[in-house]
Amino acid sequence: MDIDHDLVQVHGAAAQALGTVAHIGGRIRDRTGRPVSGAVVEIWQCDGQGIYRHPRAPGHERFDGNFQGYGRTVVDSGGAYRFRTLKPVPYLGRTPHIHYAVIVPGAGRFVTQMYVAGEPLNAYDGLLNGIRDPQARRSVIVPLIAADVVEVGALRSTFDIVLTL
Ligand SMILES: [Fe+2]
């Protein structure tokens, strides 16, 4: 199974995943602002039709086999990570989001979700609005902006994560 940082291109697949490409990167820091070296960043999300890769996911038989669905990478010495994935789309009951897990050897596994600024369903999403602190809620909503200089037709975003180590 392919689990690298490029979710849009599965090793050996003839075609790319269907959807809008999004280059998403950021830094993993601790509360003092120091980069967390050695951190492993995992993401997972549904395909361009809103279907998860999981065999029991609704609509799984239509899952886009050219989409990796999950990726992992290790941060560089500055705590930076990057993924090439898809702009997340909504699925039943959820506004678009990307699941994140950050694993810090010896310190634990931390999970969060990244949301996209301007998505109308953000106002109705139970999990997003379950984050009661407005500042904390804003911190997980990031803009996706045009990034044609990186890749024609693609978007990019920065999602930094501060760990409460
Ligand atoms: Fe989800």
Contact between 19 and 153 (Cβ < 8 Å): no
Distance 17 CA to ligand 1 centre (A): 18
Tens digits of per-residue pLDDT, 52-62?
999 899 899 99
The two structure tokens encoding residue 8? 């849009």
Q: What is the DSSP code (8-state) at residue 16?
A: P
> pTM (2 decimals)?
0.96
Into which CATH architecture does domain 21-163 fall?
Sandwich (2.60)
Distance 164 CA to ligand 1 centre (A): 23
Distance 96 CA to ligand 1 centre (A): 8
Q: Which residues contact 68 (CB under 8 A, 6 or more apart)?
A: 2, 3, 4, 6, 7, 8, 9, 10, 17, 53
Distance 147 CA to ligand 1 centre (A): 25
Distance 37 CA to ligand 1 centre (A): 27
Q: What is the DSSP code (8-state) at residue 17?
A: P
Distance 149 CA to ligand 1 centre (A): 29
Tens digits of per-residue pLDDT, 72-128?
999 999 999 999 999 999 999 999 999 999 999 999 999 999 999 999 999 999 999
Tens digits of per-residue pLDDT, 132-144?
999 999 999 999 9
pLDDT of 1 higher than 90? no
Distance 45 CA to ligand 1 centre (A): 6
For residue 165, name the pLDDT band (cuts at 50, 70, 90): confident
State the Cα–Cα distance between residues 10 and 7, nearest whole angstrom. Answer: 7
State the Cα–Cα distance between residues 125 and 81, nearest whole angstrom. Answer: 27
State the Cα–Cα distance between residues 53 and 14, nearest whole angstrom. Answer: 18
Query: Count of residues for the chain?
Result: 165
